């Protein structure tokens, strides 16, 4: 992998990740861009104790442009885009319309491929491995920013999810706080450690799931399963079998096996609703340990956390979506229409 860092016309950082070490990146951004101006701020809810990002400038972000106006495609002599070069393998750049900025964190865009019509599932193993390298490198680099306490790499796919750009891409959020979802897991981790004389909750969950009926893929270095209390109709969690706190902690063997496992999992999600004729909308979310001190979680150290990816779709059956209505949105109590055991069986069935 070759990494080349440069800047766009408005000062935002852009990084090329190339498969070939001899690739030269000398193109410059020719657009007359003004400096990025944001209104991003973090407000803490005194009742719930969580944080909300207020970012009114995002109302003006690019919204469903036609394919020939996509800002994530490579530049051409006639139409410069967010990526100055005429081709690329993987690119990461600072979001022009960030939800988090400055002391309130940082937001980046990850373009998985220059092919506008592709999806992550269409990548080769080599391309998917390069995306993994980009996620890993950005996690390590963003951890050094003074305001950053947690790094979140994720992909939204599908208009049903709310995606506004059709090009295959994901995002990275560097939060200036520990997210509520992670804080809940850390509290459960601490309680389990205290109640079991030091046992690790993630290790115990993984052992239980591996022995149960909800396994989807079980390889030498990775385990994918539908969790016992799945929130979503079709939801799979992917764990490395050797517990590590974050993406930089993965060893060479797990890295080498990841592309094949993850691409197979994505393909199975698409096959769930083949009769619809449209790709399955999904969210893919990497859960990593925070970089913040964990003093608030008695007895928990950073290495107790287990890196894992959660993949889920809001489609519950062909032509029907799972909406977050009263119980889910009002009280955070999910109601799942698909038994996790049935979802796992279906995901095992939909092989190529």
Positions annotated as catalytic residues are 169
If DSSP codes are grouped into helix, strand and coil, which group holds residue 249?
A: helix
Q: Which residue in this structure is represented by tokens 């149960």?
A: 212
Q: Within 13 Å, how many C-alpha atoms sit on residue 308's CB side?
A: 24
Rounded-to-integer distance, Cα 301 and Cα 289, Å: 10
Q: Among 195, 282, 288, which Cα is nearest to 240's?
A: 288
Contacts 24+ apart (CB under 8 A), 53-60: 53/99, 53/100, 53/104, 55/97, 55/98, 55/99, 55/100, 57/97, 58/97, 58/99, 60/97
Rounded-to-integer distance, Cα 253 and Cα 269, Å: 25
Instruction: Evaluate whether 178 touches 300 at the Cβ level (below 8 Å).
Output: no
Rounded-to-integer distance, Cα 59 and Cα 140, Å: 31
Instruction: Evaluate whether 106 touches 94 at the Cβ level (below 8 Å).
Output: yes
Exposure string of 76-98, with b = 16+ CB inside 10 Å and e = fewer, is eeeebbbbbbeebbbbbbbbbbb
Instruction: Evaluate whether 253 touches 113 at the Cβ level (below 8 Å).
Output: no
- Which two structure tokens, joined as six digits, stand for 3? 């990494």
């Amino acid at each position: 992998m070759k990494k080349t860092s440069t800047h766009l016309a408005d000062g935002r950082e852009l990084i090329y990740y190339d498969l070939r070490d001899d690739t030269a990146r000398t193109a410059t951004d020719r657009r007359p861009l003004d400096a990025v101006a944001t209104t991003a701020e973090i407000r803490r809810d005194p009742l719930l104790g969580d944080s909300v990002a207020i970012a009114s400038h995002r109302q003006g972000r690019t919204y469903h442009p036609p394919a020939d106006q996509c800002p994530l495609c490579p530049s051409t002599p006639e139409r410069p885009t967010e990526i100055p070069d005429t081709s690329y393998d993987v690119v990461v750049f600072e979001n022009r319309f960030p939800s988090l900025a400055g002391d309130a964190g940082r937001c980046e865009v990850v373009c998985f491929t220059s092919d506008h019509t592709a999806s992550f599932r269409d990548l080769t193993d080599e391309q998917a491995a390069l995306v993994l390298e980009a996620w890993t490198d950005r996690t390590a680099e963003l951890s050094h920013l003074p305001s950053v306490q947690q790094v979140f790499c994720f992909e939204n796919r599908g208009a049903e999810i709310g995606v506004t750009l059709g090009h295959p891409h994901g995002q990275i959020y560097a939060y200036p706080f520990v997210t509520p979802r992670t804080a809940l897991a850390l509290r459960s981790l601490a309680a389990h450690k205290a109640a079991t004389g030091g046992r690790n909750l993630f290790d115990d969950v993984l052992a239980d799931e591996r022995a149960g009926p909800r396994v989807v893929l079980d390889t030498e270095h990775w385990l994918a399963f539908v969790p016992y209390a799945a929130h979503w109709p079709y939801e799979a969690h992917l764990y490395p079998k050797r517990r590590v706190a974050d993406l930089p902690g993965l060893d060479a063997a797990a890295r080498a096996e990841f592309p094949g496992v993850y691409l197979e999992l994505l393909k199975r999600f698409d096959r769930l609703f083949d009769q619809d004729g449209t790709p399955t909308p999904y969210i893919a979310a990497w859960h990593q340990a925070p970089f913040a001190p964990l003093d608030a979680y008695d007895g928990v150290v950073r290495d107790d956390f287990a890196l894992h990816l959660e993949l889920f779709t809001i489609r519950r059956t062909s032509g029907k979506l799972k909406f977050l209505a009263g119980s889910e949105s009002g009280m955070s109590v999910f109601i799942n229409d698909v038994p996790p055991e049935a979802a796992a069986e279906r995901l095992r069935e939909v092989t190529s």
